[in-house]
Amino acid sequence: MAGNNPQIVLERRAGRQLMGCLAAIVIFGCLVCIAIQPDAVVEILGFFGIMLALVLFSKRHDHSKKRNIILTPQGIQFSEGGEFASTADIFKSEKYYNPASIPWNELGEVKHLKKVSKNRTDHGTTESVYNILELMKTDSSREHANPSVIYYCGNLGRQVLNSHTTFTAERAVRLIEKLRDADSEEERIQILNDTYVGKSPGEIKREIRNTPWKQRLTRYCPACKLIILVDGRKEQSEQRCHSCGSNEIYKDEDEYLKTLDKKA
């Protein structure tokens, strides 16, 4: 990551893994049904085939590499669009993988929109939020041009490539604006190098393996809403969240809530 040409790649790994799990559950369910009802193989395969196709092709489930956002000292690279208007559109992928890049000095306003969809279930309504980023260009000849739209993420956020760190849409916007407002390429290299992007999964595994059982402490990070393992032999100020690097971590959620009460 460090060096003269650092970059931060934001991918939708958590979403992709969730899709993988769902696909595995569908296939497993299919096998169980065939085992129970061997006579109805054709119907069962048809039903689960449709389920699998829905899981794999649904618009929310587009987590391929083409969708990565890449932040470099020169600019931001991404792929535009992502809203499928109809089922037929799902198969016209060239329409929705429009690779684009904007150099930092041409980037204008960055908007973060939240699209809330309500799902009615038997137990009432649940809300799911989808985060969308709109990037305007400063180019005055295109003043009324449409913004570039990035389908950022659902509730799971985006993950930094090769790291455990999650970037919420809010955190991504803060970083994009900071890079846009920097005065020089050197300053942007500095910002990218200084941004905490976490350790690689291998590194974290090694650290945990090298920590004796009794010294493995669970801690709660309120910023990430995550439970993490830290090395109890380290000074408290050196015990940090794997995801955001913050050392404001607590024994558990209750302890964190108590500190809020004290401040109030």
**Residues interacting with Zn ion, by CB under 5 A?**
221, 223-224, 241, 243-244
81 vs 222, beta carbon nearer Zn ion: 222
Which residues is 135 bridged to in the sheet? 110, 148
| Distance of closest approach, residue 166 Cβ to Zn ion, in angstroms | 9
Q: Is 81 helix (H, G, I), strand (E, B) or coil?
A: strand
224 vs 230, beta carbon nearer Zn ion: 224
Residues in the chain: 264
8 A C-beta contact, residue 158 and residue 167: yes
106 vs 207, beta carbon nearer Zn ion: 207
59 vs 174, beta carbon nearer Zn ion: 174
| Distance of closest approach, residue 69 Cβ to Zn ion, in angstroms | 20
| Distance of closest approach, residue 243 Cβ to Zn ion, in angstroms | 4
8 A C-beta contact, residue 177 and residue 199: no
State both tokens at 88. 């037929």
| Distance of closest approach, residue 219 Cβ to Zn ion, in angstroms | 10
State both tokens at 43. 């119907």
Q: Is 7 helix (H, G, I), strand (E, B) or coil?
A: coil
130 vs 167, beta carbon nearer Zn ion: 167
Say how far apart CA 130 and CA 12 lie, in whole Å. 13
Say how far apart CA 206 and CA 37 lie, in whole Å. 47
| Distance of closest approach, residue 144 Cβ to Zn ion, in angstroms | 41
Closest residue to Zn ion, based on beta-carbon distance: 241
Closest residue by Cα to residue 62 from 204, 128, 158: 158
